[in-house]
Protein backbone atom coordinates (compact mmCIF):
# COMPACT_ATOMS: atom_id res chain seq x y z
CA UNK A 1 0.00 0.00 0.00
CA UNK A 2 2.91 2.36 0.75
CA UNK A 3 4.34 1.68 -2.72
CA UNK A 4 1.00 2.51 -4.31
CA UNK A 5 0.74 5.79 -2.37
CA UNK A 6 4.30 6.64 -3.40
CA UNK A 7 3.40 5.91 -7.02
CA UNK A 8 0.29 8.12 -6.74
CA UNK A 9 2.36 11.00 -5.29
CA UNK A 10 5.04 10.60 -7.99
CA UNK A 11 2.39 10.68 -10.73
CA UNK A 12 0.64 13.65 -9.11
CA UNK A 13 3.89 15.64 -8.96
CA UNK A 14 4.53 14.95 -12.66
CA UNK A 15 0.94 15.82 -13.60
CA UNK A 16 0.67 19.03 -11.54
CA UNK A 17 3.82 20.52 -13.12
CA UNK A 18 2.55 22.71 -15.97
CA UNK A 19 2.79 21.12 -19.38
CA UNK A 20 0.69 20.92 -22.55
CA UNK A 21 -2.07 18.85 -20.92
CA UNK A 22 -2.26 21.24 -17.96
CA UNK A 23 -2.68 24.11 -20.44
CA UNK A 24 -5.48 22.15 -22.12
CA UNK A 25 -7.16 21.43 -18.76
CA UNK A 26 -6.94 25.12 -17.84
CA UNK A 27 -8.39 25.99 -21.23
CA UNK A 28 -11.19 23.48 -20.56
CA UNK A 29 -12.00 25.53 -17.48
CA UNK A 30 -12.40 28.56 -19.74
CA UNK A 31 -14.86 26.64 -21.90
CA UNK A 32 -17.86 24.50 -21.10
CA UNK A 33 -17.51 21.81 -18.41
CA UNK A 34 -18.58 19.17 -20.97
CA UNK A 35 -15.58 20.05 -23.15
CA UNK A 36 -13.29 19.55 -20.16
CA UNK A 37 -14.86 16.18 -19.29
CA UNK A 38 -14.50 14.83 -22.85
CA UNK A 39 -10.96 16.20 -23.01
CA UNK A 40 -10.09 14.61 -19.67
CA UNK A 41 -11.49 11.23 -20.79
CA UNK A 42 -9.38 11.39 -23.96
CA UNK A 43 -6.34 12.34 -21.92
CA UNK A 44 -6.83 9.52 -19.42
CA UNK A 45 -7.34 6.90 -22.13
CA UNK A 46 -4.24 8.11 -24.00
CA UNK A 47 -2.15 8.03 -20.83
CA UNK A 48 -3.45 4.61 -19.77
CA UNK A 49 -2.62 3.06 -23.14
CA UNK A 50 0.76 4.77 -23.44
CA UNK A 51 1.92 3.94 -19.91
CA UNK A 52 0.84 0.31 -20.19
CA UNK A 53 2.80 0.04 -23.44
CA UNK A 54 5.81 1.46 -21.57
CA UNK A 55 5.41 -1.13 -18.83
CA UNK A 56 5.20 -3.93 -21.38
CA UNK A 57 8.27 -2.60 -23.24
CA UNK A 58 10.09 -1.99 -19.97
CA UNK A 59 11.84 1.16 -21.20
CA UNK A 60 10.42 4.67 -21.40
CA UNK A 61 13.54 6.29 -22.89
CA UNK A 62 13.47 4.25 -26.11
CA UNK A 63 9.91 5.41 -26.83
CA UNK A 64 10.59 9.07 -25.96
CA UNK A 65 13.61 9.15 -28.27
CA UNK A 66 11.88 7.54 -31.25
CA UNK A 67 11.67 9.86 -34.28
CA UNK A 68 8.04 8.94 -35.03
CA UNK A 69 7.04 9.66 -31.42
CA UNK A 70 8.52 13.15 -31.27
CA UNK A 71 7.22 14.07 -34.73
CA UNK A 72 3.71 12.91 -33.75
CA UNK A 73 3.97 14.86 -30.48
CA UNK A 74 4.95 18.00 -32.38
CA UNK A 75 2.06 17.62 -34.81
CA UNK A 76 -0.43 17.03 -31.98
CA UNK A 77 0.74 20.14 -30.12
CA UNK A 78 0.77 22.27 -33.25
CA UNK A 79 -2.69 21.11 -34.33
CA UNK A 80 -4.23 21.72 -30.92
CA UNK A 81 -2.55 25.14 -30.68
CA UNK A 82 -3.79 26.23 -34.10
CA UNK A 83 -7.28 24.97 -33.30
CA UNK A 84 -7.17 26.91 -30.02
CA UNK A 85 -6.18 30.11 -31.82
CA UNK A 86 -8.66 29.76 -34.66
CA UNK A 87 -11.76 28.34 -32.98
CA UNK A 88 -14.56 30.87 -32.68
CA UNK A 89 -15.93 30.67 -29.17
CA UNK A 90 -19.55 31.30 -28.43
CA UNK A 91 -21.20 30.95 -25.08
CA UNK A 92 -22.75 27.62 -26.11
CA UNK A 93 -20.28 26.66 -28.82
CA UNK A 94 -17.54 24.11 -28.67
CA UNK A 95 -13.92 24.93 -28.20
CA UNK A 96 -10.60 23.36 -28.98
CA UNK A 97 -10.66 20.82 -26.13
CA UNK A 98 -11.81 17.51 -27.64
CA UNK A 99 -11.60 13.82 -26.78
CA UNK A 100 -9.50 13.01 -29.85
CA UNK A 101 -7.19 15.97 -29.49
CA UNK A 102 -6.33 15.29 -25.86
CA UNK A 103 -6.05 11.54 -26.52
CA UNK A 104 -3.36 12.08 -29.16
CA UNK A 105 -1.67 14.74 -27.04
CA UNK A 106 -1.58 12.48 -23.98
CA UNK A 107 -0.41 9.47 -25.99
CA UNK A 108 2.46 11.45 -27.55
CA UNK A 109 3.41 13.64 -24.59
CA UNK A 110 7.16 13.25 -23.88
CA UNK A 111 6.67 14.70 -20.38
CA UNK A 112 4.24 11.90 -19.64
CA UNK A 113 6.50 9.21 -21.08
CA UNK A 114 9.57 10.40 -19.20
CA UNK A 115 7.67 11.47 -16.06
CA UNK A 116 5.25 8.59 -15.59
CA UNK A 117 7.34 5.85 -17.20
CA UNK A 118 10.10 5.47 -14.59
CA UNK A 119 7.80 5.43 -11.52
CA UNK A 120 5.54 2.86 -13.21
CA UNK A 121 8.51 0.72 -14.20
CA UNK A 122 9.90 0.92 -10.68
CA UNK A 123 6.51 0.03 -9.22
CA UNK A 124 6.18 -3.02 -11.47
CA UNK A 125 9.77 -4.18 -11.33
CA UNK A 126 10.12 -7.57 -12.97
CA UNK A 127 6.59 -8.56 -11.96
CA UNK A 128 4.08 -7.32 -14.52
CA UNK A 129 0.95 -9.00 -13.24
CA UNK A 130 -2.57 -7.98 -14.21
CA UNK A 131 -3.22 -6.88 -10.65
CA UNK A 132 -0.10 -4.67 -10.57
CA UNK A 133 -1.01 -3.07 -13.92
CA UNK A 134 -4.55 -2.40 -12.67
CA UNK A 135 -3.36 -0.74 -9.45
CA UNK A 136 -0.68 1.29 -11.20
CA UNK A 137 -3.12 2.49 -13.86
CA UNK A 138 -5.61 3.42 -11.13
CA UNK A 139 -2.95 5.44 -9.28
CA UNK A 140 -1.94 7.20 -12.51
CA UNK A 141 -5.51 8.02 -13.53
CA UNK A 142 -6.37 9.25 -10.02
CA UNK A 143 -3.30 11.49 -9.83
CA UNK A 144 -3.82 12.95 -13.30
CA UNK A 145 -7.54 13.51 -12.72
CA UNK A 146 -6.90 15.35 -9.44
CA UNK A 147 -4.23 17.61 -10.97
CA UNK A 148 -6.31 18.36 -14.09
CA UNK A 149 -9.33 19.20 -11.90
CA UNK A 150 -7.14 21.74 -10.12
CA UNK A 151 -6.21 23.36 -13.47
CA UNK A 152 -9.85 23.21 -14.58
CA UNK A 153 -10.92 24.97 -11.35
CA UNK A 154 -8.31 27.67 -11.92
CA UNK A 155 -9.71 28.19 -15.42
CA UNK A 156 -13.26 28.42 -14.05
CA UNK A 157 -12.21 31.13 -11.59
CA UNK A 158 -11.47 33.49 -14.46
CA UNK A 159 -14.70 35.33 -15.25
CA UNK A 160 -13.58 38.49 -17.05
CA UNK A 161 -14.14 37.81 -20.79
CA UNK A 162 -11.25 40.05 -21.81
CA UNK A 163 -8.88 38.04 -19.63
CA UNK A 164 -10.42 34.79 -20.90
CA UNK A 165 -9.69 35.83 -24.49
CA UNK A 166 -6.10 36.73 -23.64
CA UNK A 167 -5.58 33.46 -21.75
CA UNK A 168 -6.95 31.47 -24.71
CA UNK A 169 -4.48 33.23 -26.98
CA UNK A 170 -1.64 32.50 -24.56
CA UNK A 171 -2.68 28.82 -24.35
CA UNK A 172 -2.79 28.60 -28.14
CA UNK A 173 0.58 30.28 -28.60
CA UNK A 174 2.21 28.02 -25.97
CA UNK A 175 0.86 24.90 -27.67
CA UNK A 176 1.95 26.10 -31.14
CA UNK A 177 5.41 27.06 -29.84
CA UNK A 178 5.89 23.64 -28.22
CA UNK A 179 4.72 21.89 -31.39
CA UNK A 180 7.03 23.92 -33.61
CA UNK A 181 9.95 23.25 -31.24
CA UNK A 182 9.38 19.48 -31.46
CA UNK A 183 9.03 19.58 -35.25
CA UNK A 184 12.16 21.72 -35.71
CA UNK A 185 14.11 19.35 -33.47
CA UNK A 186 12.92 16.36 -35.49
CA UNK A 187 13.68 18.09 -38.78
CA UNK A 188 17.23 18.76 -37.55
CA UNK A 189 17.60 15.08 -36.59
CA UNK A 190 16.31 13.87 -39.95
CA UNK A 191 18.51 16.31 -41.91
CA UNK A 192 21.67 15.45 -39.93
Q: Using one digit for the tens of pLDDT, what is the confidence trace for 126-140?
A: 555 677 777 777 888
Q: Angle at the Cα of 121 (from 8 to 11), degrees rounded to 5?
A: 25
Task: Compute the mean pLDDT over every residue in the chain, rounded to the nearest whole number.
Answer: 76
- Which residues have a Cβ under 8 Å from the Cβ of 192 and sit 6 or more positions away? none
- CA 89 from chain centre, in angstroms, equals 23
Average pLDDT, stretch 141-147? 90
Per cent of the chain over pLDDT 90 is: 4
- Residues 102 and 148: their CA atoms lie apart, in Å, by 12
pLDDT for 122 equals 63
- pLDDT band (50, 70, 90) for residue 92: very low
Q: What is the pTM of this model?
A: 0.68
* Structural domain total, the chain: 1
Question: Which residue range is the domain that position 150 belongs to?
Answer: 2-191
- Residues 28 and 38: their CA atoms lie apart, in Å, by 10
pLDDT for 150 equals 92
- Residues 110 and 61: their CA atoms lie apart, in Å, by 9
pLDDT for 128 equals 59
Amino acid sequence: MTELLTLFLACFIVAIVPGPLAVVAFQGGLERPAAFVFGLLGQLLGLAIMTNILVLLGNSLSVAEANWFLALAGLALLTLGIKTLTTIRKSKGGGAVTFGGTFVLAFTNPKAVLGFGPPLLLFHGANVSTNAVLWATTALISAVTLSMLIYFALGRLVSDQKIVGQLRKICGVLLVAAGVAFLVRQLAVWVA
